[in-house]
């Protein structure tokens, strides 16, 4: 198998998940890491035995680097992805696609004209319970889907925002709990529900006033064209990071996601349908991030290697960003740039 060269830009919290996933893949070699903080770049370069640079543009002319992972702050995704796609690289960007829809659309356009592909990390789509929920909606095993519920109650404190100053600001993070922490759950709701007919919602800062300028709490009611309704609540103001909870009510049964396990409630009986991956204990990172990074990254490389179009591309990734944007627009507190 020909070796495929990779690079990662951004050596912060999410970096080890990407670097370790690459290290576990046959035929893929991490050739470079980039971080504007040279100490972080050097540390990562030494740990993974590759070139370290402070300027991602050093990667653009490297013929041997075919795939680049973007693990940088949200406001840098568009600029970096467009430069890389224009240089013919395949780009796998962390969520969200960008800080706003116009930037995201520019990325999609660059991908259209590139020989490289654009993939987006929504790793929770790769969780077994997510596949199972999607499959049960499509097969109609439990009749039609009627409504859904998504609840995310996590904890982010001053230290989290002090640690990386791009977080907590409209310009650099693009929002708060909606665009960063709960975009995964919104992505699943829209993936399950299909075409969205209308969105009503509201965002507030309940706990982190004076620490962040964006919201820490949000709720929404999402109506889909097929008459399915989803209600959603999310906050960063809980005191622990509690596992995401979801409920999908069908005509003939209910699916419940609790503590990352999927249960079926049917005819007065609860049955466990699936548990999280067995590698949950060996995965680096936090359990509430989900365990799908390795699967998603492997799948992306599989598509790149075979020259096939990756399914979780820019067009798929922009859907959750559109939903985030619709909730901001519906709220009495909109994103400054979208007023
Ligand atoms: N999929 C998930 O579950 C998940 C979890 C956490 C973070 N993320 C995403 O990963 C991305 C990074 O988040 P993080 O928590 O690792 O942030 P972080 O602040 O910990 O790391 C970002 C890194 O990018 C570097 N950087 C900043 N400007 C740069 C530039 N111009 N060139 C090169 N490097 C630069 C910083 O020095 C830092 O090391 C975000 O998009 C975030 O939403 C995803």
Question: How many angstroms separate the alpha carbon of residue 135 from the centre of ligand 1?
Answer: 32
What pLDDT was estimated at residue 245? 98
What pLDDT was estimated at residue 289? 52
Q: Please state, as a whole number, how many other Cβ atoms lie within 10 Å of the Cβ of residue 112.
A: 11
Write the CB contacts of 253 (distance below 8 Å, at least 6 apart in sequence). 142, 143, 264, 265, 266, 267
User: For a substitution probing ligand 1, which of 13, 93, 186, 243 has the most ligand atoms within 8 Å of its CB?
Assistant: 13
- Taking the CA of residue 289 as reference, the ligand 1 atom at the shortest distance is 3
> Domain 4-122+297-311 is in which class?
alpha beta
Question: How many angstroms separate the alpha carbon of residue 14 from the centre of ligand 1?
Answer: 6
Question: Which residues are paired to 138 by β-bridges?
Answer: none
From first to last of its 339 residues, the chain has per-residue pLDDT tens of 789 999 999 999 999 999 999 999 999 999 999 999 999 999 999 999 999 999 999 999 999 999 999 999 999 999 999 999 999 999 999 999 999 999 999 999 999 999 999 999 999 999 999 999 999 999 999 999 999 999 999 999 999 999 899 999 999 999 999 999 999 999 999 999 999 999 999 999 999 999 999 999 999 999 999 999 999 999 999 999 999 999 999 999 999 999 999 999 999 999 999 987 655 444 455 555 556 899 999 999 999 999 999 999 999 999 999 999 999 999 976 666 554
Ligand 1, atom 31: closest residue by C-alpha: 36
Identify the sign of the CA torsion 206, 248, 188, 223: negative
What pLDDT was estimated at residue 68? 98
Q: How far apart are CA 330 and CA 161, in angstroms?
A: 26
Write the CB contacts of 202 (distance below 8 Å, at least 6 apart in sequence). 218, 219, 220, 327, 330, 331, 332, 333
Contact 48, 30 (CB under 8 A): yes
What pLDDT was estimated at residue 281? 40
What pLDDT was estimated at residue 286? 57
Is residue 182 in contact with ligand 1, taking CB distance under 6 Å? no
Question: Which residues are paired to 262 by β-bridges?
Answer: 257, 274
What pLDDT was estimated at residue 276? 78
CATH number of 124-273+315-338: 3.30.360.10
What pLDDT was estimated at residue 334? 63
Segment holding 150, helix H or strand E: strand 145-153
Question: How many angstroms separate the alpha carbon of residue 139 from the centre of ligand 1?
Answer: 38
- Taking the CA of residue 164 as reference, the ligand 1 atom at the shortest distance is 19
Contact 162, 84 (CB under 8 A): no
What pLDDT was estimated at residue 278? 54
Domain residue spans in the chain?
A: 4-122+297-311, 124-273+315-338
């Amino acid at each position: 198998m020909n070796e495929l060269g990779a690079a990662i830009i951004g050596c912060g919290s999410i970096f080890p998940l990407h670097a370790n996933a690459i290290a576990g893949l046959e035929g893929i070699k991490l050739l470079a890491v980039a971080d504007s903080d040279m100490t972080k770049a050097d540390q990562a370069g030494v740990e993974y035995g590759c070139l370290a640079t402070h300027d991602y543009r050093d990667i653009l002319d490297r013929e041997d680097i075919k795939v680049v992972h973007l693990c940088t702050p949200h406001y840098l995704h568009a600029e970096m992805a467009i430069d890389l796609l224009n240089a013919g690289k395949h780009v796998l960007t962390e969520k969200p696609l960008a800080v706003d829809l116009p930037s995201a659309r520019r990325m999609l356009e660059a991908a259209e004209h590139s020989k490289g592909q654009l993939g987006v990390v929504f790793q929770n789509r790769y969780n077994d319970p997510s596949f199972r929920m999607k499959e049960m909606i499509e097969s109609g095993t439990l009749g039609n889907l009627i409504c859904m519920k998504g609840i995310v109650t996590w904890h982010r404190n001053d230290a989290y925002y002090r640690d990386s100053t791009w977080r907590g600001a409209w310009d650099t993070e693009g929002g708060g709990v909606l665009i960063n922490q709960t975009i995964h759950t919104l992505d699943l709701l829209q993936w399950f529900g299909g075409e969205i007919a209308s969105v009503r919602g509201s965002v507030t800062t309940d706990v982190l006033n004076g620490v962040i300028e964006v919201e820490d709490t949000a709720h929404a009611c999402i109506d889909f064209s097929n008459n399915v309704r989803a209600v959603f609540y999310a906050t960063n103001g809980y005191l622990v990071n509690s596992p995401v909870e979801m409920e999908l009510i069908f005509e003939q049964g209910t699916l419940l996601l609790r503590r990352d396990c999927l249960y079926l409630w049917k005819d007065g009986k609860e049955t466990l349908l699936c548990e999280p991956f067995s590698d949950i204990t060996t995965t680096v990172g936090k359990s509430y991030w989900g365990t799908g990074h390795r699967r998603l990254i492997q799948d992306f490389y599989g598509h790149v290697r075979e020259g096939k179009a990756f399914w979780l591309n820019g067009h798929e990734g922009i859907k959750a960003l559109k939903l985030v944007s619709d909730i901001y627009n519906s709220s009495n507190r909109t994103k400054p740039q979208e007023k």
